[in-house]
Amino acid sequence: MIEKTEFPHFMLKEIFEQPQALERTIVSRVGLSEGEVRIADEIHIDSAELRALRRIHIVASGTSRHAGMAGQYMFQELACLPADVDYASEFEYRNLPIGPEEITIVITQSGETADTTAAQRLAKRKGSRTIAISNVPDSTIAREADGVLYTNAGPEISIASTKAFTAQMAVLFLLAAYLAQVRQELDRENLREWIRELLAIPQKVRTVLECSELCRKLAEQFHRAEDFLFLGRAIHYPVAMDGALKLKEVSYVHAEGYPAGETKHGPNALIDEHLPVVVIATCDPRNAGSLLRYEKTVSDLQGFKKQSAKIVALASEGDREVSELADHTIFIPQAPELLAPILEMIPLQLFAYYVAVRKGLDVDRPRNLVKSVREE
């Protein structure tokens, strides 16, 4: 019997369990001094086959698909492997020619989602090897996969997924780093640096969790809003998507996640003093692409301000430019671009949670939703 212990809801307990969930998911799979990722005996696909890979397909539903969207950037950046991401419920309609030179990664907290089970079976029929990323040992999807990488987040009771999601992103990072290792895209020193940064993430999550009271105050201020826009560029776009989904799931508020660069093609018409805009505006100064994206996001913020939008920004610790432009700023510890999404998700989970609580809703069991949809 899983208890809420001192927490009022499972969702809040699970948000605060993320540092331990990440440590249990990461630590046993890396060797810092050796600069190596050790997951060969979990994925059961030999190095020769991994070196021959030309493409990765990622298939999932809901929050798990957002993890896959973040993984897409990790596979491209670390292993130079292109990756496609599909909704599990749409996968069959794409009729993709998938063959032995492509693996299909199936991401699922429960390991029982019907659409995702069907998608994995279809990929196998097409000749693709499959790797399942699941949080439930011996689940259907885990049993039917060629290889399994478990998130060790522990049982996730709240219908809205939080600790499983950040653990999924950590596993995807490990898999991308492992592929880079096997395909010799990264040398030992580079791998050692990435492993060092990954091992530092759980403690940085503990630091971000200190923004909980600020998130509660923001929820108090914005709990009557009927629409939200969440914006992020590149690997931060999946974070915007899941921040919007969390708010929809638990507080029944309409929220939309969007690539920040796309607002000028439509959503800008929505942005005025009545529409809170949550913008992920972090920056990894050691990453040239991140610096470029940051400049564009600052320019977006200046435009939104002219449109009198109420702006909540996520910015990197020490940033002064964004906090001058935003009405509210939540600071995120410095982290490499590919790992920042794990930290950025924390305040968005907390904000959604506190809006639902302020609205007096059943946070752990939102109406019309279930933890795992077992029929297509």
276-281 vs 227-232, strand pairing mode: parallel
Residue from 160, 167, 169, 339 that binds ligand BG6 (CB under 6 A)? 160
Q: Write the CB contacts of 308 (distance below 8 Å, at least 6 apart in sequence).
A: 272, 273
For the CB of residue 144, give the shortest distance to ligand BG6 in the complex, in Å. Answer: 14
Judged by CB under 6 A, the chain residues 91 through 150 that form the site for ligand BG6 are 108-110, 113, 116
User: Any contact of residue 212 with ligand BG6 (CB under 6 A)?
Assistant: no
Cα angle: 351, vertex 356, 362; to 5 degrees: 140
User: Any contact of residue 157 with ligand BG6 (CB under 6 A)?
Assistant: no
User: Which CA distances in Å does 45 have to 26, 39, 57, 182, 371?
Assistant: 20, 10, 15, 11, 31
For the CB of residue 115, give the shortest distance to ligand BG6 in the complex, in Å. Answer: 8
In whole angstroms, give the CA distance from residue 339 to residue 305. 29
Report the candidate in 69, 68, 64, 106 with the shortest Cα–Cα distance to residue 237: 69
Residue from 76, 190, 207, 372 that binds ligand BG6 (CB under 6 A)? 372
Residue 38: CB atoms within 10 A of its CB come to 14
Residue from 63, 130, 282, 329 that binds ligand BG6 (CB under 6 A)? 63
For the CB of residue 366, give the shortest distance to ligand BG6 in the complex, in Å. Answer: 8
Nearer to ligand BG6, 118 or 373 (CB): 373
Yes or no: say if 191 and 78 are a contact pair by the CB < 8 Å rule: no
In whole angstroms, give the CA distance from residue 197 to residue 185. 18
Nearer to ligand BG6, 67 or 205 (CB): 67
Selected range binding ligand BG6 among 154-162, 231-239, 288-296, 340-348, rule: CB under 6 A = 154-162
Yes or no: say if 128 and 102 are a contact pair by the CB < 8 Å rule: yes
For the CB of residue 116, give the shortest distance to ligand BG6 in the complex, in Å. Answer: 5
User: Any contact of residue 370 with ligand BG6 (CB under 6 A)?
Assistant: yes
Nearer to ligand BG6, 110 or 329 (CB): 110
Report the candidate in 105, 179, 115, 186 with the shortest Cα–Cα distance to residue 145: 105
For the CB of residue 111, give the shortest distance to ligand BG6 in the complex, in Å. Answer: 7
For the CB of residue 134, give the shortest distance to ligand BG6 in the complex, in Å. Answer: 8
Interaction mask 15-54, ligand BG6, x per CB under 6 A:
----------------------------------------
102-108 vs 83-87, strand pairing mode: unpaired
276-281 vs 310-316, strand pairing mode: parallel
Residue from 18, 25, 61, 120 that binds ligand BG6 (CB under 6 A)? 61
Residues forming the site for ligand BG6 (CB under 6 A): 61-64, 108-110, 113, 116, 159-161, 369-373
